[in-house]
Amino acid sequence: MRKRATSDETLEQKIVKAQEKVVRTAAAHEKAVDELQILLDKRDAKRKEEVWEAIVNSPRSYEDILKMIRNELTDED
């Protein structure tokens, strides 16, 4: 019977350690997701700025640029 009790204690210890690991990895995952979202937001803001600068500096009108973009998207569908 002694081995059974020790085995049960060891199992419980392993369960506690596994639960702690899940909590740690979940926190690390959330942190990584947050960091990724910040980077994606920065990239999107940079892209929007680049597109806007291209529109402002283009000799074409805003409406012409929109027509061109929409026609290209329609042709690919």
Under DSSP, the state recorded for 61 is: -
Query: Model-level pTM greater than 0.75?
Result: no
Token pair of 34 as six digits: 């947050």
Q: Which two tokens stand for residue 17?
A: 């350690």
**pLDDT band, residue 6 (cuts 50/70/90):** confident
* Structural domain boundaries enclosing 57: 2-76
pLDDT tens profile 25-75 = 999 999 999 999 999 999 999 999 999 999 999 999 988 998 998 987 665
How many domains is the chain built from? 1
Largest CA distance in the chain: 88
Q: Are 56 and 49 in contact (CB under 8 A)?
A: no
The one-letter amino acid at 48: K
Torsion (CA) 10, 16, 17, 23 in degrees, nearest 10: 170
